[in-house]
Amino acid sequence: MAGFLRKLRKIATPKPLEPATVDCAGQQVDVVFRRNGSARRLILRLNTDGTAAVVTVPGGVSRAQALDFVMRSADWLGERLSKRGENIPLRPGSMIPLRGEKHEIRHINLRRGTVTVDPLAKEILVPGEPPHVARRLTDFLKVAARQDLAAASQRYAEVMGVAMRRITIRDQRSRW
C-alpha cells in the first residue's frame, strides 16, 4: 500500500518548469517559473536582487502559457528593471552613494579596526581580510543608516511636538 501511495504522489506532483531567458528592452532577463497549486492566476515579479523575473504558475497552466504571459508583460518588466537601477558590488574600487555623495570603497591592510569615512578624499576605508570587505561594509552602512534615521526622527518628533519611543529596523525581504 505504501509503495502505491508513493507512485501516486509521483504522478500527482507536477514536474518543475524549465527556466527561460527573454529579451526585455534590449536586455536579457532570466525567467524562473515556480509552480503553486493554490495560486489562482499567473503572477510576475522581480526577484529580491532585481536580476531575474519570477513567475508564479498555478496548476493547469503550461510553461508555454506562462512564457507567453511574460512576453506580453515585457514592457512592464522593462519599466521595473529600469527603475531598479544597477546592483553595485561591494568591493574595493566600487563607487557607492553615502549621504548623497559618491564614495570609493578602499581596502586597507589592517587586520583589525573599524570602517571609517574620509570625507575629503570621498573614500570609505575598510580594514580586515579582503574576503570580508562586503560584510564589514554592509554592517557599517546599516549602523550609519540607523544613526541618520534616529537623528532625523528625533528632529521631526521635536517639530511635531511628540515623543519618540524607539526605532525598529528589520530586513523585510521575506515579509513581502
pTM of the model: 0.61
11 pLDDT higher than 60: no
Over the stretch 97-145, which tens digit does the pLDDT of each residue have?
999 999 999 999 888 889 999 999 999 999 999 899 999 999 999 999 9
- What is the average pLDDT across 10-20? 71
Residue 103 and residue 122 in contact, taking contact as beta carbons nearer than 8 Å: yes
- pLDDT value at residue 54: 92
